[in-house]
Amino acid sequence: MPAPLQLLIIEDEAVLALDLRATLQAEGYGVVGIAASGPRALELFAQHPVDGVLCDIHLQGPWDGIETARRLLAVRPVPLIYLTALADQPTLDAALTTAPAAYLPKPVSAASLRAALALALHAIARPAAPAPPEPAASADALTRDTILQLEGHVFIKDNNQFVRIPLADILLLEADNTYTTLVTPTRKYALRLTLGAVLERLHFAQLVRVHRSFAVNIQRVESFSDTEATVAGQAVPLGRQYREAFLKQFQFR
């Protein structure tokens, strides 16, 4: 039989965490561990193969759940389910910048957890026998919407060819309805994808959403105020609901 999918629980309330673990195990999932803080979660995530993460948004310690999730996803992408007792719109907007698979209000019922896990983990399969290697992407499968990633670079289709762009060269992303413009120091590239879809596909933790229509490379920010940030001389609006997540990228001394 295939091994059960392995989940990491990030929850600082011990009773809730133990109850959640019991529910998951009763549903046939494995639990690699319970972390009560962001740093401990990152440690467990690095030590174990983790297929999915259940994370409380409001954690005690140096990082909240959203920052913890952002750091885990920077290591490797996995399905993410948020748990929270508070479902206010600013919290939801900040959580959505990490592209979670589900968002469950507490107290979490077994039925809602079962449904969320089924949706979040449906693409992960553990075959009993090794699956044959996937064939290389065919030319027919490569469209204008395709983003290919190779270590610290992405390949984006420009006219009739895929061009290589270092992730560190991305200054910002600007959305216009269903299109997103990727801006580098020398070029702009139009993608027929929403801003959320581009952020999800790039898996680049330094791209931080600052507005419903903008995300910026935090390493390229030159200055900022309460209402806007400047990247390579361009002023970008800083939305109120994204300000907290933006400021958490910085270390306060």
CB 42 within 8 A of CB 71: yes
Q: What is the pLDDT, as a whole number, of residue 120?
A: 82
| Torsion angle in degrees (nearest 10) through CA of 36, 38, 42, 44 | 0
Q: What is the pLDDT, as a whole number, of residue 190?
A: 87
Q: What gap in Å lies between CA 28 and CA 253, rounded to an integer?
A: 45
CB 29 within 8 A of CB 5: yes
pTM over 0.75: no
Of 133, 132, 158, 131, nearest to 145 (Cα)? 158
Collect the ranges in the chain with pLDDT lower than 50. Answer: 1, 125-135, 139-140
Q: What is the pLDDT, as a whole number, of residue 126?
A: 46
Of 160, 169, 118, 122, nearest to 142 (Cα)? 160
Q: What gap in Å lies between CA 81 and CA 64, rounded to an integer?
A: 14
Structural domains in the chain?
A: 6-121 (3.40.50.2300), 139-247 (2.40.50.1020)
Q: What is the pLDDT, as a whole number, of residue 130?
A: 44
- Other beta carbons within 10 angstroms of residue 129's beta carbon come to 6
Structure tokens given for 119: 């949706």
